[in-house]
Amino acid sequence: MMIRVQNLHKSFGEQHVLKGLSMEIREKSITCIMGGSGSGKSVFMKCLIGLLKPDKGEIYIDGESIMGKTQRQLQGVRKKIGMLFQDAALFDDMTVMENVSFPMLEHTQTPEDEIQDRVITKLKEVGLENIEHKLPSELSGGMRKRVGLARALMLDPKIVFFDEPTTGLDPIMTNQIGDLILQTHQRYDVTFVIINHDVNLSYKVAEEIVMFHQGIVADQATPQALVHSSHPFIQKFFNAHVDMEQYR
Amino acid sequence: MIAQKPFALFQKTGNYVMRIFPSFFSIIGEIGQFIVFLYKTIRLINPKTLRYGLVIKHIKLMGVDSLFIIALTSVFTGMVMGLQMGRAFKLFQAESLTGAVAAISISKELAPVFASLMFTARVGSSMAAQLGTMRVTQQIDAMKAMAVNPMHYLILPRFLATIFVLPLLTAMFDYVSMFGAYVVGVELLNIDKAAFVQRTIDFMEVSYIVEGLFKAAFFGFLISSISCFKGFHTQGGAEGVGRVTTQAVVISSVCVLVSDYFLTALFF
């Protein structure tokens, strides 16, 4: 297992967000984590990359426990992880080239011209060309996400987290991002963990879906199996999506 | 925020006490958080790992950004000093002392304080707003997720650059404002040029300038640490960025004025 979580708890004051969450994610799989707003998806992801410290429980990344580690010790684990944030979280004052080369400049001694070539290659892989000298403010939402993905892939991570990769995008762009996720996964063959609300995207890309409800895992199954789940929340969640066929 | 081991006990105690006396202890809690922030920043100072390129970049940005506004403030401060002192000393037929008194008050007090206040408005606010925006748009989280310590990358270079650049701007303030005082005193109030210069040389001491520069470095330390602290801990989206920017400027300005009194009373 690439990620193993046992009995994870996290509270903010009186608010108990994660209430004993346990789950496992297979190596080299694409897993979508879904759930209603406030179900603890983002908090869970922040716990996995060490941005939040859980109150209780165990987290194993690639067989290594991250609980009780200092920020310095966590840096080794973080190098195995690439992360695409919701709005890409590109550095405003850096060009696309500087943004994408940032992790390599920080963590390797690779010569600058080699890094630049690698950036151009990574950008091509995510479908972008000749934008190296643009600033993030000059890019569209979809382009920003692609640049964010190129940056996340720079250090060849073992796991890539996607935080709501299609939020704020139109349906065509959402579909393209879905294709991009599949192509990238095929090319790199690493573990993808995608947090999202989008049922269509999840059914398009996921090998397994984990449903969160009220701070615990309501169900974890393949997309095909999950449709037949007897859990009332999951039934409600999927029924809430409009079936376009009835309008045709 | 992840609790570091040495601070975990303090954090737990603080959280418990704050639950009992929320409003009063929130201020004390913030001061405690500020001290921890300061300690963590200072602990990162290591000549071997320091990002010299970033420090120089910030020195350039801060210096160039503030040059015009500080030159403008300083020339008019000097001119006002020349005018007021010249008029006052004329009553005692002691106009020649205008330059000396202006030079002493500028170098000891006005230059470090005025330069720091202008610097707070120009650079402190921009530091708080920039870091605040980075916080609310998850850029700081992204940096952490890429295994880069944001305190080391974002805070320390700004902190050191401010401490270095503010005394330089204060030195410029000294010279430009003295030029302003000279122009008004000699050219406008017709004070004898030789007497103006000679009296200034007689009464001025290098230690007055050094004292002002030392104060400026201390004010730089205050401004950068307060502005970075406020920006780094921004919450609440765009509204939060606006709020911390205002707080950074107000708190830094008040701290500069209050600490100026205590520095003068205790050391100078």
Are both A7 and A74 inside the same structural domain?
yes
Are both A184 and A74 inside the same structural domain?
yes
Are both A96 and A182 inside the same structural domain?
no
Partners of A51 on chain B (C-beta within 8 Å) are 2, 141, 144-145
Tokens of B163: 């401490």
Show pLDDT as tens, one digit a residue, over chain B (268 residues): 444 566 778 777 877 777 777 667 778 888 999 999 999 999 999 999 999 999 999 999 999 889 999 999 999 999 999 999 999 998 988 889 999 999 999 999 999 999 999 999 999 999 999 999 999 999 999 999 999 999 999 999 999 999 999 999 999 999 999 999 999 999 999 999 999 999 999 999 999 999 999 999 999 999 999 999 999 999 988 999 999 999 999 999 999 999 999 999 988 7
- Domain, as residue range, for B115: 51-267
B187 lies in a domain? yes
- pLDDT of A247 strictly over 60: no
Are both A4 and A60 inside the same structural domain?
yes
Query: A109, A129, A156 — which closes off a domain?
Result: A156
pLDDT of residue B2: 47
Are both A52 and A161 inside the same structural domain?
yes
Are both A134 and A62 inside the same structural domain?
no
B30 lies in a domain? no
Q: How far apart are CA B173 and CA B225, in angstroms?
A: 23
A33 lies in a domain? yes
Domains in chain A: how many in total?
Answer: 2
- Domain, as residue range, for A97: 90-156
Residue owning tokens 């270079």: B157
Nearest by CB to residue A103, choosing from B3, B134, B146, is B146
A24 lies in a domain? yes
pLDDT of residue A171: 86
B127 lies in a domain? yes
Among B5, B139, B143, B153, the residue to mutate for chain A (most A Cβ within 10 A): B139
For A211: left if phi > 0, alpha if psi spans -120 to 50, otherwise beta; the answer is beta
Contacts of B81 (CB under 8 A, 6+ apart): B102, B105, B106, B110, B177, B180, B181
pLDDT confidence of A121, banded at 50, 70, 90?
A: very high
Partners of B141 on chain A (C-beta within 8 Å) are 46, 51, 85, 89
Query: A131, A156, A181 — which closes off a domain?
Result: A156
Are both A73 and A128 inside the same structural domain?
no
A108 lies in a domain? yes
Query: A139, A156, A173 — which closes off a domain?
Result: A156
Are both A52 and A173 inside the same structural domain?
yes
pLDDT of residue B182: 95
B29 lies in a domain? no
Nearest by CB to residue B146, choosing from A70, A92, A102, is A102
CB contact under 8 A, A78 and B146: yes
Mean pLDDT of A128-142: 93
B92 lies in a domain? yes
Tokens of B21: 């006396």
pLDDT of residue A243: 58
Domains in chain B: how many in total?
Answer: 1
Are both A105 and A135 inside the same structural domain?
yes
CATH number at residue A193: 3.40.50.300
The whole-angstrom distance between residue A40's C-alpha and the CA centroid of its chain comes to: 14
Are both A28 and A129 inside the same structural domain?
no
pLDDT confidence of A14, banded at 50, 70, 90?
A: confident
Alpha helices in A14-111 (DSSP H): 41-48, 71-78, 96-107
Are both A163 and A236 inside the same structural domain?
yes
B58 lies in a domain? yes
DSSP state of B233: T
Mean pLDDT of A51-79: 88
Nearest by CB to residue B2, choosing from A50, A75, A87, is A50
The answer to whether residue B20 neighbours chain A at the CB level (below 8 Å) is no
pLDDT of residue A241: 64
Q: How far apart are CA A7 and CA A4, in angstroms?
A: 10
Nearest CA-CA partner of A179 in A200, A155, A163: A200
The number of residues in chain A equals 248
B250 lies in a domain? yes
The answer to whether residue B235 neighbours chain A at the CB level (below 8 Å) is no
Report chain A residues touching chain B, CB-CB < 8 A: 46, 49-53, 70-71, 74-76, 78-79, 81, 83, 85-87, 89-93, 102-103, 106-107, 151
Q: What is the pTM of this model?
A: 0.86
A85 lies in a domain? no
Q: How far apart are CA B231 and CA B248, in angstroms?
A: 8
CB count in 10 Å sphere of residue A23: 19
pLDDT of residue B1: 45
pLDDT digits 0-9 by tens, A173-196: 888 899 999 999 999 889 999 998
Cβ distance B44 to B156 under 8 Å? yes
CATH number at residue A106: 1.20.1580.10
Are both A122 and A34 inside the same structural domain?
no
B109 lies in a domain? yes
pLDDT of residue B4: 55
CB contact under 8 A, B144 and A51: yes
